[in-house]
Amino acid sequence: MSDVAVSPGLIDRALRRVTSLWRDIASSAPAGEEGIAAQMRGCLDARGGEVSARSRAARLAQSYLAGDHAARGEFLRALAGFDSDHGAVAKAWEAVAAAADAEARATAKARLRRVLEPPRLRLLTQFTTLPDGVKFLVELRADLLARMKGDAMLQALEADLRGLLASWFDVGFLELRRIDWTSPAELLEKLVGYEAVHRIRTWRDLKNRLDSDRRCYAFFHPRMPDEPLIFVEVALVQGMAANVQGLLDEKAPLLDARQADTAVFYSINNCQRGLDGISFGNFLIKRVVDLLGAEFGKLECFATLSPIPGFRSWLEAKLDADDISLLTEDEAATLRAAAPPDLAIAAPDAEPARVVEETAPQTLRRLIARRGWARVEATSKSLEPILLRACARYLLAESGRDGKRARDPVAHFHLSNGARVERLNWRGDISEKGFRESCGLMVNYRYDPAKIEDYHEAYAGEGKRAASPAVRKLAKGFV
């Protein structure tokens, strides 16, 4: 949901396919200078007809694909260099300032807009004439995103490309398709490679996720018909799911989907790194809610079972700062009683033989750092109310740099889409990843079709975070 680790193998195979598709096209490009900048000038000069233009574009794209990391960087810097003509922009701006009336000003502004458009935009657009050219540009932006920090020219190039992709990938151009076990094997393989929330381990695992009581939907673009842009996995169940291991249990009995009363969105994955920042997720969820509601009349609840990826790192920072607001006095006493006796620490300026008693936050910090703490009943029981309350505070009260949006990226995604924080789940994800990211907690965000727009407007406008009374009670004193 947030950034997704894309399988390098998938990208490599896609680029090899592009290279083979373009080889014949590029072979008819006219001979000339071999430098990258010279090839780019040749493309901009647009000599010859449409076939020649496509050939030059294919040859230029192949130069990028054939290069190593350093050569691709030089390609991008050369491309960024085809910027607006400073002299022409200055002259056009002077004409705007000197315009005597509204009619002259409108004409001058139109001229200014034309000269402001950098030639590199025309170069980027030429790649769309090639088979898989749009996919090539998506991968080009992924490369840019990884390189552009501290480089103003690459940042400007990325902004141009982002603007093009945002218009080309408007949700009105996208197709929503269901993926099931009968889908092409190549597409199923991509599903496995792109799944980053709950890794698909085997083909049997994949088949379970695509069974009759499950649904998987993805957005596709007509110029990338075999490449999912984003997909969501849904479980049709009775009652709101509280544990992801149970939800994905391959041995669990198959439910008649017509008897389900709840649709649980348990994994949402962005597939194309080069489309980061171009949002489809809010449209995807709303479309799927409408589809499922129409297909299954008994569905009363649409909710997620979501990770809380930033919770543990936030919590540890608070504990390292000795934040005593995380525990009540009674909890601190209970915690000390539950803690193993080896948790006394040496005073920083004391002789080795002298020790001081830990503070309660220090004890909590050390307890959650111990492997297997959740399997110790006394420890788990003492930590449950503390961690649940801290997590509610994290989701409802903690903000990012702007002071308004939720600090947790997954929380921000769902709250901005019009969901509310419905329930926190103790031991919701007992995998190693679950404990590493969120001390094993997961959260249900609920999508109420009647309130989605109200919740979205309240969060987007005033930063108000919708939450159930139970979760809001846990965060009492902080919200």
- pLDDT at residue 46, as a whole number: 72
Selection from 230, 212, 226 nearest residue 288 by Cα: 230
Decide: residue 142, CB within 10 A, 0-12 exposed, 13-18 middle, 19+ buried.
middle
Selection from 442, 437, 407, 173 nearest residue 303 by Cα: 442
Note if 306 is an active site residue: yes
- pLDDT at residue 420, as a whole number: 97
Decide: residue 95, CB within 10 A, 0-12 exposed, 13-18 middle, 19+ buried.
middle
Structure token digits, residue 450: 């009647």
The pTM for the full model equals 0.85
Which residue blocks in 296-442 are alpha helix, DSSP H?
Answer: 311-320, 329-338, 360-369, 377-397, 409-416, 432-438
- Report pLDDT digits (tens) over 104-137: 999 999 999 999 999 999 999 999 988 889 999 9
253, pLDDT greater than 60: yes
Residues ≥6 apart with Cβ < 8 Å to 197: 1, 266, 267, 268, 269, 307
- pLDDT at residue 309, as a whole number: 96
Q: d(Cα 47, Cα 127) in Å, to the nearest integer?
A: 16
Q: d(Cα 130, Cα 169) in Å, to the nearest integer?
A: 17
In this prediction, residue 16 has a pLDDT band, given cuts at 50, 70 and 90, of: low
- Report pLDDT digits (tens) over 371-419: 899 998 988 999 999 999 999 999 999 998 888 899 999 999 999 999 9
In this prediction, residue 356 has a pLDDT band, given cuts at 50, 70 and 90, of: low
11, pLDDT greater than 50: no
- pLDDT at residue 105, as a whole number: 94
Q: Considering the chain, what is the average pLDDT of its residues?
A: 89
Note if 69 is an active site residue: no
Q: Give the active site residue among 55, 414, 438, 456.
A: 414
What burial letters (b/e) apply to 150-187, b meaning 16+ CB within 10 Å? ebeebebbbebbbebbeebbeeeebeebebeeebeeee
Tell me the percentage of the chain whose pLDDT exceeds 70: 88
Number of residues assigned to the chain: 479
- Report pLDDT digits (tens) over 27-77: 544 444 468 999 998 888 877 667 777 888 888 999 999 899 999 999 999
Hey, what amino acid is at 128? T
- Report pLDDT digits (tens) over 325-352: 999 888 888 887 777 665 444 445 545 4
What burial letters (b/e) apply to 421-440, b meaning 16+ CB within 10 Å? bbbbbbbbbeeeebbebbbb
Cα–Cα distances in angstroms (integers) from residue 319 to residues 296, 358, 387, in the given order: 46, 12, 12
Q: Give the active site residue among 306, 412, 438, 456.
A: 306
Structure token digits, residue 121: 């935009």
Structure token digits, residue 369: 């750092």
